[in-house]
């Protein structure tokens, strides 16, 4: 049995940031690495909900980037490192929209008007003007209680206009990745099975990998694809993807949930979250793309409450 749960399912069931002590539950955490490898932007629980922070990798010091009303989620740096796109959900996760912040000025802009959707996991394409994102079209009662978003598809927004790129109404859709080398987008989705897909520059979707894990996240570095893939229950590792599962090269051996791998723009380093003790608490690690030099960046105690670690907002 594959035992990985889709984070947004947990969010919409009201299990994160809503009950218990949200500082001890890290399932809302997501991050990205700046193109120059100096900064990490991440979302974590702030004063009362999920906010955005910048972490200086050299000093391990954080600054508050945004503290808006609602929950800032899934940040992503622009190719030039001057902007960050993110999703902003209301307190009850009843809707979410894509926003963008200019780091130099602090100016925040809403990319699309709100609709009856949940827009999530934005990531940039070839330049600052092209943003891909996942959209859920239906919010329905869930059998275990609460609500869940489903009927997901991939979109692109450019100059304020959204274009629907898939029309499959996936049950789940995971974070995608743009390849600057090929112009393709890679993503995984679940209908009756987990599969990895390629969306080419002409808008054609083809099957990239038939076999995959529950929640596999493909990431690109040039023409190389990296994935976090299923080993056994509670064990996801990071691989350099081959032409088939048998050709994959295993890079980590932590025997834990390894989540949300991010590849630096030069393809030299991989950053990822690790849930070693299966307690919904994450440490942030980096490893070289050849599988050497595993380094912990910050531990789970940092994400419990970043504010004591953070200086004043730089904007």
Question: Tell me, what's the pLDDT at 210?
Answer: 76
pLDDT of residue 190: 87
pTM of the model: 0.89
Chain centroid to CA 72: 12
312 pLDDT more than 50: no
pLDDT at 21: 54
- End-to-end, the C-alpha distance of the chain in Å comes to 46
**Position 214 confidence tier, pLDDT thresholds 50, 70, 90:** low
Nearest one of 23, 5, 46, 305 to 144, comparing CA atoms: 5
What residues does 141 pair with on adjacent strands?
147
Residue 229 predicted with pLDDT over 90: no
The whole-number pLDDT of residue 215 equals 65
Number of H helices, E strands in the chain: 2, 26
The pLDDT tens digits for 270-294 are 999 988 766 778 899 999 999 999 9
Three-state DSSP state, 3: coil
Would you state the pLDDT for residue 211? 65
Pick 313 or 123 by higher pLDDT.
123
CA distance 44 to 177: 22
Assess whether pLDDT exceeds 90 at residue 102.
Answer: yes
Return d(Cα 167, Cα 6) in angstroms, integer. Answer: 20
Residue percentage of the chain with pLDDT more than 90: 54
pLDDT at 254: 83
pLDDT at 16 over 70: no
Return the pLDDT at 12.
Answer: 46
| 3-state secondary structure string across 47-58 | CCCEEEEEEECC
pLDDT exceeds 50 at position 6: no
Comparing C-alpha atoms, which of 50, 264, 103, 248 is closest to residue 177? 264
- Judge contact between 167 and 201, C-beta under 8 A: no
pLDDT value of position 62: 92
DSSP letter string, 114-132: --SSEEEEEEE-SSTTEEE
Answer yes or no: is pLDDT of 53 > 80. yes
Which tokens go with 247?
């050709």
pLDDT at res. 2: 44
Mean pLDDT of 239-243: 87
Within 10 Å of residue 18's Cβ, how many Cβ atoms?
Answer: 15
Specify the higher pLDDT residue, 113 or 249: 249
Confidence label for 24 from pLDDT (cuts 50, 70 and 90): low
Q: What is the pLDDT of residue 234?
A: 64
pLDDT the model gives residue 5: 46
| Res 308: pLDDT | 66
Mean pLDDT for the stretch of residues 118-139: 95
Q: Which residues of 109-141 are buried (b: 16+ CB within 10 A; e: fewer)?
A: eebbeeeebbbbbbbbbeebebbbbbbbeebee
| Band of residue 212 on the pLDDT scale cut at 50, 70, 90 | low
pLDDT band at residue 108 under the 50/70/90 scheme: very high
Among the residue ranges 6-10, 87-91, 214-218, 278-282, the one predicted with the least confidence is: 6-10
Domain-wise residue ranges, the chain: 7-311
pLDDT given for residue 233 in this prediction: 64
Mean pLDDT of the chain: 85
For domain 7-311, the CATH architecture is 6 Propeller (2.120)
DSSP code for 277: T
């Amino acid at each position: 049995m594959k035992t990985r749960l889709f984070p947004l399912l947990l969010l919409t069931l009201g299990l994160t940031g809503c009950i218990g002590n949200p500082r001890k539950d890290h399932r809302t955490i997501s991050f990205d690495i700046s193109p120059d490898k100096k900064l990490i932007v991440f979302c974590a629980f702030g004063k009362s909900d999920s906010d955005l922070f910048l972490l200086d990798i050299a000093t391990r010091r954080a600054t508050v980037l945004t503290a808006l009303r609602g929950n800032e989620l899934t940040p992503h740096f622009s190719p030039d490192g001057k902007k960050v796109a993110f999703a902003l959900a209301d307190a009850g996760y009843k809707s979410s929209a894509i926003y963008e912040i200019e780091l130099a000025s602090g100016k925040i802009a809403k990319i699309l008007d709100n609709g009856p959707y949940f827009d999530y996991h934005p990531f940039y394409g070839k330049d600052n003007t092209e943003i891909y994102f996942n959209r859920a079209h239906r919010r329905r009662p869930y059998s275990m209680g609460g609500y869940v978003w489903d009927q997901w598809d991939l979109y692109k927004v450019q100059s304020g206009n959204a274009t629907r790129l898939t029309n499959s109404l996936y049950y789940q859709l995971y974070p995608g990745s743009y390849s600057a080398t090929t112009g393709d987008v890679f993503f995984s989705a679940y209908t009756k099975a987990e599969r990895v897909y390629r969306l080419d520059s002409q808008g054609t979707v083809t099957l990239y990998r038939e076999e995959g894990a529950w929640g596999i996240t493909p990431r690109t570095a040039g023409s190389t694809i990296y994935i976090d893939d299923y080993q056994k229950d509670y064990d996801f590792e990071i691989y350099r993807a081959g032409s088939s599962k048998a050709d994959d090269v295993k890079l980590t051996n932590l025997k834990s949930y390894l989540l949300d791998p991010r590849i630096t723009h030069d393809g030299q380093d991989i950053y990822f979250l690790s849930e070693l003790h299966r307690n919904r608490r994450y440490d942030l690690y980096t490893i070289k793309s050849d599988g050497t030099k595993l380094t912990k960046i910050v531990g789970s105690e940092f994400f419990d409450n970043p504010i004591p670690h953070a200086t004043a907002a730089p904007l």
